[in-house]
Amino acid sequence: MSPNRTRGQNAGLTRQAILEAALALADRDGLKALSMRRIGQELGVEAMSLYQHVANKDALLDGLVEQIFTQAAPPLAEAGSWQEGLREYARALLRLLLAHPNVISLVVSRPAITPQNHRLMEDALHTLQAAGLPPERALDMLYAVTGFVVGHVAILSGGGDGRSPSRGIQPIPEEELQETPLLAQATRVRRSSDSDPRFDFALEAMLRGFDTL
């Protein structure tokens, strides 16, 4: 596909297509590879045509954060309860961040301030309010769950530096646990687990805590 398209040929270009191409490029080559020129090449259009849909580099990066949260949008309206909805949201966000390690640092450092993310939060707050939760408490819960998941993945990825996050708990070598028998026992029990029991434990404790407030 030639990058030298005419204005008419660019008519089908959309913000969503640009963000999807940017996310694919970041996944493949890292955040440093992101530029309007490179994204234009990916889409087969002139870089200048992208500015009709994405104002600047900051708007592009905000859009990448938006993509993660849009895909992990709280399925609260379809869930059997608000607890189940928040649980599924947390697990969906965890899966997406693990699948896109190169954008973890963006999610950690950039607030998700876009109209689309505001609409997602508004929808979630409507559902939580219908379940009997005041909007200010519901918003606290959304931020708490989101912060927990993002912080958890940032720790697994070493601060979101682009390395693939480790999945689950990494065992401590036996030779380092000779003088700490309780720590050795606690970690040994979970050595064979392929899941992340600490994530599940903390998430369930958080949801039960919300239920008691």
Q: Are residues 21 and 83 in the same domain?
A: no
Confidence of residue 3 (pLDDT cuts 50, 70, 90): very low
Rounded (5°) CA angle 201-206-208: 95
Within a domain: 38: yes
Within a domain: 196: yes
Q: State CA 153 to chain mean position distance.
A: 9
Greater confidence, 12 or 155?
155
Please state, in angstroms and rounded to a whole number, the distance separating the CA atoms of residues 118 and 115.
5
In which domain, by residue range, is 37 found?
A: 1-54
Looking at the chain, the whole-number percentage of residues with pLDDT higher than 70 is: 85
The confidence score (pLDDT) of residue 5 equals 46
CATH classification of the domain holding 108: 1.10.357.10
Looking at the chain, the whole-number percentage of residues with pLDDT higher than 90 is: 66
* Tens digit of each residue's pLDDT (9 = 90 or more) over 72-115: 987 788 888 999 999 999 999 999 999 999 999 999 998 878 99
The confidence score (pLDDT) of residue 191 equals 54
* Tens digit of each residue's pLDDT (9 = 90 or more) over 12-33: 799 999 999 999 999 999 999 9
Within a domain: 20: yes
Please state, in angstroms and rounded to a whole number, the distance separating the CA atoms of residues 195 and 168.
6
Within a domain: 66: no
